[in-house]
């Protein structure tokens, strides 16, 4: 049974206990990862710790030195790509929302049918907060749609009994309304399906 490693000190102690004398430490510049390399019984081993983890992310053996080196190179590239992605997400989260008052947002959700709802941005508070309210849907059917399907456009009036929602914008322009992801409407009719 493993002990939970709650504190940084616990993780440091667990990592030290795992590493054996003679293992070669490789720490790529600019990455929060450590690799430990060793040979035993004609095999080439590599152990990877990421961040402050007390337990290794992986501990593998390889028949050939080239296989181990290639695997580590791919892992380093993957970690660099992940670090770049995280930095971009963090930077985009601090950017002000680009969705303006008057914009229409559309949701798409459903299990055995596709439900669509339109919401109009009626106010913007601060950098990341929007006030939205559902607007009616207007049929955009051409008459050629299969049974139990159709197309719709947003109307001008708010739906009956709709109420304003305060929503937070995250990572650029990603929003959730009533638990459903929404995107800025592109101006084209949106498709929906129904289930009888």
The predicted structure's pLDDT at residue 102: 93
Q: Which helix (H) or strand (E) holds 92?
A: helix 65-93
The predicted structure's pLDDT at residue 2: 58
User: Looking at the DSSP assignment, which residues form a beta bridge with residue 106?
Assistant: 118, 183
Are 99 and 83 in contact, with CB atoms under 8 Å apart?
no
**Sequential pLDDT tens for the chain (196 residues):** 456 767 888 889 999 999 999 999 999 998 999 999 999 999 999 999 999 999 999 999 999 999 999 999 999 999 999 999 988 878 777 777 888 999 999 999 988 889 999 999 999 998 889 999 999 999 888 888 888 898 999 999 998 888 999 998 876 677 889 889 999 999 999 999 987 5
Q: How far apart are CA 168 and CA 97, in angstroms?
A: 9
Secondary structure (3-state) at 173: coil
Q: How far apart are CA 155 and CA 117, in angstroms?
A: 11
Are 34 and 49 in contact, with CB atoms under 8 Å apart?
yes
Q: How far apart are CA 148 and CA 125, in angstroms?
A: 39
Q: How far apart are CA 14 and CA 5, in angstroms?
A: 8
Instruction: Classify the C-alpha dihedral 172-177-179-183 as positive or negative.
Output: negative
The predicted structure's pLDDT at residue 3: 67
The predicted structure's pLDDT at residue 196: 57
Instruction: Classify the C-alpha dihedral 18-23-27-28 as positive or negative.
Output: negative
């Amino acid at each position: 049974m493993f002990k939970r490693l709650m504190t940084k000190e616990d993780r440091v102690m667990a990592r030290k206990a795992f590493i054996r004398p003679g293992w070669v430490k490789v720490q790529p510049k600019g990455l929060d990862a450590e690799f430990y390399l060793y040979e035993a019984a004609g095999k080439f081993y590599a152990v990877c710790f990421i961040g402050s983890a007390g337990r290794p992310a992986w501990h593998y053996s390889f028949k050939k030195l080239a296989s181990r080196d290639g695997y580590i190179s791919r892992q380093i590239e993957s970690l660099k790509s992940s670090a770049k992605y995280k930095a971009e997400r963090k930077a985009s989260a601090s950017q002000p929302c680009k969705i303006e008052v008057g914009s229409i947002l559309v949701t798409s959700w459903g299990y055995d049918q596709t439900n669509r709802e339109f919401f109009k941005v009626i106010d913007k508070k601060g950098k990341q907060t929007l006030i939205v309210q559902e607007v009616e849907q207007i049929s955009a059917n051409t008459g050629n749609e299969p049974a139990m399907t159709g197309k719709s456009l947003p109307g001008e009036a708010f739906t009956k009994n709709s109420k304003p929602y305060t929503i937070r914008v995250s990572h650029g322009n990603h929003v959730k309304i009533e638990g459903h992801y929404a995107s800025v409407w592109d101006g084209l009719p949106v498709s929906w399906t129904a289930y009888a």
